[in-house]
Copies of this chain bind each other. A is one copy, B any other.
Amino acid sequence: MEFTLGQLAQLLEGKVEGDETQKVSRLDKIQEGKPGGISFLSNEKYEPFIYQTEATAVIVSEGFRASKELKTNIIRVKDAYLGFTALLEAYAQFTKSALVGVEEPAYMDSSSTIGENEYRGAFSYIGKNCQIGQNVKIHPHAYIANNVKIGDNSIIHSGAKIHAETQIGTNCEIHSGAVIGADGFGFAPQADGTYKSIPQIGNVIIEDNVSIGANTTVDCATMGSTIIKKGAKIDNQVQIAHNVIIGENTVIAAQSGISGSTEIGKNCVIAGKAGIVGHIKIADNTTIGANTGISKSIKKSGETLFGYMGMDLKQFLKSYSIFKNLEDLEKRLKELEKKP
């Protein structure tokens, strides 16, 4: 889609300085701007680029005064950053909602229902007795098994797999290759050294406004539900085991893993590659550093943990700085031992 600068200025409640009939169809970084693109200048550090950019237009804030001649058009708004963000969101919203219709062949069992403004991509699969809301976008190769519920405005990306009995709220986004509701890892050791599979009959509940990253796995509960509460944001390649509960607005970065039956509080931030053992509770507002291992419950709200076995961040950094020179420390000890 293409817009004239005049149209955009109207949308952003700003005014054009330059040729308002020119058209843009793309959002560019100011340092990489090309004809047909529109950029923004908010941080002063980037000001030099506005005199060089090839972008057709740049959004600037009210107070901006050019110190050299400008080759680009400008749209002057109250706050350039907010203006650009508004544009970004309008763009994303437009792209998303424009996707409507059914591409054939798509498979949907006749016992399932889907609301208005649906998109179902080619090779998407919807099993029996599913209830799917309005404005839901089911991309190509998405798999939705039996008895699944999906709320309004949710997006299931290409190749995401939603297993039977899963419930997904409104405004959720399940990214490509994510697997929701596969069997939990439950095996009972037998006397002869073999393992017997424990049937996993629970499900997964994903509340509203949740995002699940690409190739992330969320296992179904052994019984009951694995629950991702509203507003939680989960990155790519995260593993969430059976019967885990993730609190509201908790953020988990890529490649972290949460073992079975652990309960994470709300508003926690868990950095990449963290590992959390099973059957513990993590208090609200906990921050867990990258690559950190947590083996015990965290009872106090607001702590920041770090390191191989999850300790207080400051203490970890002190210990680690000594660890880096342990050889020196040992030498000093040797010196003392030599003393008579």
A303 CB to nearest B CB, Å:
15
Query: Cβ of A119 < 8 Å from any Cβ of B?
Result: no
Question: Is A259 a contact of B236 with CB atoms below 8 Å?
Answer: no
User: What's the number of copies of this chain in the assembled complex?
Assistant: 3
Besides A275-B291, A336-B336, 17 new A-B residue pairs in contact (Cβ under 8 A), listed by A number: A27-B201, A27-B223, A28-B223, A91-B199, A92-B199, A122-B125, A143-B176, A179-B214, A179-B236, A185-B233, A194-B249, A236-B239, A254-B257, A254-B259, A255-B257, A259-B272, A319-B327
Chain A positions 315 through 333: 1 when the CB is less than 8 Å from some CB of chain B, otherwise 0: 1001110111111011011
Known: A92-B199, A201-B27. A322 touches B326 (CB 8 A): yes
Query: Cβ of A101 < 8 Å from any Cβ of B?
Result: no
A55 CB to nearest B CB, Å:
12
A254 interface neighbour in B123, B185, B251, Cβ under 8 Å: B185
Complex: how many Å from CA A275 to CA B324?
19
Complex: how many Å from CA A236 to CA B179?
10
Query: Cβ of A145 < 8 Å from any Cβ of B?
Result: yes
Known: A176-B163, A333-B332. A254 touches B241 (CB 8 A): yes
Query: Cβ of A253 < 8 Å from any Cβ of B?
Result: yes
